[in-house]
Structure 1
Amino acid sequence: MDDQRVWAFEESLWTADADHYRESIDDECLMVLPQPPFVMSGAQAIEAVAATPRWSSVELSGRQIARPEEGLIVVAYHAKATKGDETYEAHCTSTYRRRAHEDWLVVQHQQTPPLTAAVEA
C-alpha cells in the first residue's frame, strides 16, 4: 500500500460510517483509547468505536510510516478531528497487516490526548 493510500485509509477510519469501520478492523485488534475501559480487544474494540458518532473532518499531521517487514505497516501521527463545535486531538498509532493482495486490516490502534499539564524534567 503506497503512502497516499495509507493516509486516505487512516482518515477514513475517523470519518467513514460504522460499516466501513467494521470491515477495516481485525477481529484480534488491540486498542488503547482515552476513555474507559481504555484497553479493548477484538469485537469490543470494533463495536465501541463503531458506536461513536463519526467525525466530519480530520487533519493528520506529523505523519510517519514504517514498514518493518513485508505485509506490516505502522503509522504515527497527530490527529485533530472536528464535528460541529466539537474538536478532539490526540497523538495516534495504528498498525496494519496484509491478509491478501490489497486487503489490509488494522490490528492495533492507540490514541493519547495531548498532556494538559507541564511535565517537569
Structure 2
Amino acid sequence: MEDDRVWRFEESLWTGDAEHYREAIDGECLMVLPTPPFVMSGAQAIEAVAATPRWAKIAFSDQQIARPQEGLIVVAYGVEAEREGEEPYTAHCTSTYRRIEHELWRVVQHQQTPPLVATGEA
C-alpha cells in the first residue's frame, strides 16, 4: 500500500462510519485507548466506535511509516481531532496493518496516548 493510501486509510478510521470500521478492524486486533476499559479486543473497539460520534475534522502530524516485512505496515503519528461542539482531542498514535490478500488490509493493533499534563511536581 502506497503512503498516500496508508494515510487515507488511517484517516477513514477516525471519520468513517461504524460499518467501515467493522470492515477495517481485524477480529484479532488489540487496542489501547485512553478511556475505560483501556485495553480492548477488536470486537470491543468496534462496539465502542459504533456507539460514539465520529470525528468531523482530523489533522495528522509527525507521520511515520515502517514496513518491517512483506504484508505488514506500522504507522505512528500525532493527531488533533474535533467533533462538533467539543474540545479538540490530541494524541500520539500507532496502528499496525496486515495484508489479508491483494489490496485488502486490516488493522491488527492501534493505540492512542494523549499528551502528558504537567503537574508542576519535580
TM over 0.5: yes
Equivalent runs, 1:1-121 vs 2, <5 Å:
1-86=1-86, 87-117=88-118
Q: Which runs of 5+ in 2 are unaligned?
A: none
| Length-normalised TM-score, structure 1 | 0.94
Count matched residues. Answer: 121
The whole-number CA distance in structure 2 between the counterparts of 1:90 and 1:24 is 21
The whole-number CA distance in structure 2 between the counterparts of 1:33 and 1:61 is 19
Q: Which runs of 4+ in 1 moved over 3 A?
A: 118-121
The whole-number CA distance in structure 2 between the counterparts of 1:66 and 1:120 is 36
Check whether the contact 2:18–2:46 (CA below 8 A) recurs between aligned residues: no
Check whether the contact 2:13–2:21 (CA below 8 A) recurs between aligned residues: yes
Identity %: 74
Q: Which runs of 5+ in 1 are unaligned?
A: none
Q: Structure 1 residue 44: deviation in Å?
A: 1.2
Counterpart amino acid of 1:110?
Q
Check whether the contact 2:63–2:77 (CA below 8 A) recurs between aligned residues: yes
Q: Secondary structure at the match of 2:107?
A: strand
RMSD: 1.5
| Length-normalised TM-score, structure 2 | 0.94
The whole-number CA distance in structure 1 between the counterparts of 2:95 and 2:119 is 26
